[in-house]
Amino acid sequence: MTYDPDNIFAKILRDEIPCIKVYEDDLTLAFMDIMPQAEGHTLVIPKTEAQDLFNLEPDMASALIRTTQKVAKAVKKGLKPKGVMLAQLNGAAAGQSVFHIHFHIIPRQGGIDLTLHARDQADMSKIQEIAEKIKAALE
């Protein structure tokens, strides 16, 4: 499979589709998942064309994991979950639905099940409120 430049994350990187940004640097972007599995579900992507881990240059992989760690720490500090789950899926059989490599940062609370991914859009004002807590924890 070749990289599809019309995938939703590529469109977000080109500012063709809006997102609620949490963090951005020259190599990566972190933003809120609008169809979250849990409150605070955040996505981290590289600013390069790579459909999965196997197509990502090592330097970009390093940048991606650095940003993922930085944002995950902010999610933990800002939202105070009992735990934080990281997920990175490669290929449709693994559950990947957007073929631009990305990490999911999912805050977990004891006794609260994850919702099904990419099923229902959450309230955007609530997502924005949560994003502000994460951004404040980055500072």
Dist CA 130 CA 139 (whole Å): 15
Q: What is the chain's percent helix, strand, coil content, to nearest 5? A: 35, 20, 45
**Active-site pick, 41, 100, 102, 104:** 102
The total number of residues written for the chain in this structure: 139
Tokens encoding 105: 């940062």
Tokens encoding 122: 């959450």
For the question of residue 41 being annotated catalytic, the response is no
Catalytically active residues are 102
